[in-house]
Amino acid sequence: MSKYIFTSESVTEGHPDKVCDQISDAILDELIKQDPDTHAGIECLATTGLVVVAGEVRTKGYADIAGLVRKTIKEIGYDNSSNGFSGDDCGVIVALDEQSPDIAQGVDKGKGKFKEQGAGDQGLMFGYACRETKELMPLPLMLAHKMAKRLAQVRKNGTLKYLRPDGKTEVAVEYNNGKPTRIDTVVVAAQHNENVSEAKVAKDIIKYVVKPIGGKYLDAKTRYFINATGKFIKGGPPADAGLTGRKIIVDTYGGHGSHGGGCFSGKDPSKVDRSASYMARYIAKNIVAAGLADKCEVQLAYVIGRAEPVSVLVQTFGTGKLPNERLEKIVRQYFPLKPAGIIKHLKLQRPIYKQTAAYGHFGRTETGFTWEKTDLAAKLRKYLK
């Protein structure tokens, strides 16, 4: 299409689902810090006055689960009862069990049918990259993430003291001939206290959140919808129960590209839902950074207990400088695709996961996001000659 609009959304760290993601990854980080070989699948539910932590763990480490839950909730901003939810007085139920031995034998080296470390589950994972932003990410999602993060910043630094932790953003970008040209619509839902008018919230959000991020993409025709229901006082888990892993499109590419369906948070890197998704992004980003394509999607697929991927697919949507089949062979040559190789190459047995649990797992520059490096792009550029 020569002209179209594409929309992506993000949520703040105080959104109920993101509260749960951060709790799951905070627990994972604590265990991996003590035992890098920790295997975990940690799920969380948050609702009115209650957090439930469940799942499976095998580790030599120890974590004060209730203490980590309360600490994480308070760091997000739910630190007093006036916000409707507080880390100090919510109940915490822990129902963690040991990892199934049937799964463990497929992951442990030297056990099971295959002697190499196998994938922790079957599944398909995708990675994506494009030239729309300096992060090589889709523009609508990056704008939505930055506005969501800005909501938290102006709340925490006191610029907008009346804001509370919960919030969502949505950005619709107009494309012409495949290139983003302007922001058509911005939607923001920002939780606030009862002592501020709707008009002031709308004016302040546009001034302090939307315009600093939207910049040159905003114009006289851009539409703004700020707290479209009229007010947003009750928020967080009491308003909408949260669950780990329910924001998988926010976590990845905002609806651009494909998604295999598995979430990331709470899962150690033996789970290819997480580690292979990170590798697929790393591959796609390096291909685009090398100039081999302007847009790239990589699919990896695995069977539980087996190290070699079932399939490797590279799709460049007609922008590739080489045939997709040739790129697939290059990927197999330069990138480790077995779980043990992925974990080693991306240094995934470290406590780096809590920071990934809000504002996206991709397009980030903070320390620890090894899958965002383009360190293999130089080697791939030789194929342009």
- Active site (annotated) includes residue 240: yes
Q: Please tell me the total number of residues recorded for the chain in this structure.
A: 385
Active-site residue (options: 15, 70, 150, 256): 15
Q: Are 248 and 97 in contact (CB under 8 A)?
A: no
DSSP letter at 292 equals S
- Active site (annotated) includes residue 247: yes
Taking residue 191's Cβ as centre, other Cβ atoms within 10 Å add up to 28
- Active site (annotated) includes residue 56: yes
Strand ranges of the sheet holding 223-226, from the earlier edge strand across to the other edge: 3-11, 163-176, 179-192, 223-226
Active-site residue (options: 247, 259, 295, 361): 247
- Active site (annotated) includes residue 15: yes
SS percent in the chain: helix, strand, coil, step 5: 35, 25, 40
Can you tell me whether residue 217 is helix, strand or coil? helix
DSSP letter at 209 equals I
Active-site residue (options: 43, 135, 204, 268): 43
Active-site residue (options: 239, 241, 340, 377): 241
- Active site (annotated) includes residue 232: yes
Q: Tell me the β-bridge partners of 6.
A: 173
- Active site (annotated) includes residue 246: yes
Active-site residue (options: 56, 108, 198, 328): 56
In sequence order, what are the residues at sequence separation of 6 or more whose Cβ sits closer than 8 angstroms to the Cβ of residue 369? 352, 356
- Active site (annotated) includes residue 225: no
Q: Which residues in the chain belong to E strands, given as ranges?
A: 3-11, 39-47, 50-58, 91-98, 123-130, 163-176, 179-192, 223-226, 242-243, 295-302, 311-315
Active-site residue (options: 85, 126, 232, 362): 232
Q: Which residue has the tokens 């949520």?
A: 11
Active-site residue (options: 240, 308, 340, 345): 240
Active-site residue (options: 168, 281, 285, 306): 168
Cα 340 from chain centroid (whole Å): 22
Active-site residue (options: 271, 274, 281, 361): 271
- Active site (annotated) includes residue 273: yes
| End-to-end CA separation in angstroms for the chain | 32
Active-site residue (options: 18, 70, 192, 274): 18
Active-site residue (options: 29, 121, 273, 297): 273
Active-site residue (options: 6, 9, 13, 17): 17
Taking residue 201's Cβ as centre, other Cβ atoms within 10 Å add up to 21
- Active site (annotated) includes residue 267: yes
For 16-51, letters b (16+ CB in 10 Å) and e give bbbbbbbbbbbbbbbbbeeebebbbbbbbbbbeeeb
Active-site residue (options: 58, 70, 149, 267): 267
Strand ranges of the sheet holding 91-98, from the earlier edge strand across to the other edge: 91-98, 50-58, 39-47, 242-243
Task: Give catalytic residue positions.
Answer: 15, 17-18, 43, 56, 168, 232, 240-241, 246-247, 267, 271, 273
